[in-house]
Amino acid sequence: MKISYKKLWKLLIDRDLLKKDLAEMAQISAASIAKLGRNENVNTEILLKICTALECDISDIMEIVQAD
């Protein structure tokens, strides 16, 4: 099992936002955005900031998927 942030990227597209917009809104670093882009582990504080900025739930930005 692994974590996928595809839901986050789809949400950004649906809201016509760029990754840099998300970084500014959530006050997170470009390094954190890069980690999310690679489906790597990030601190739960980062996820909380994203959910707060986008006014969404954690399940709206990530999911657990089967590993290849």
Domain with residue 46: its CATH number is: 1.10.260.40
Per-residue model confidence (pLDDT) at position 67: 80
Residue 30 belongs to what domain range? 2-65
Residue 68 has pLDDT above 80, yes or no: no
Q: Is the pTM of this model over 0.85?
A: yes
pLDDT digits (tens, 9 = 90+) for 15-51: 999 999 999 999 999 999 999 999 999 999 999 999 9
- SS3 call for 40: coil
Per-residue model confidence (pLDDT) at position 54: 97
Interatomic CA distance for residues 3 and 45, integer angstroms: 16
Q: Longest Cα pair distance anywhere in the chain, in angstroms?
A: 33
Q: How many domains does the chain have?
A: 1
pLDDT digits (tens, 9 = 90+) for 5-21: 999 999 999 999 999 99
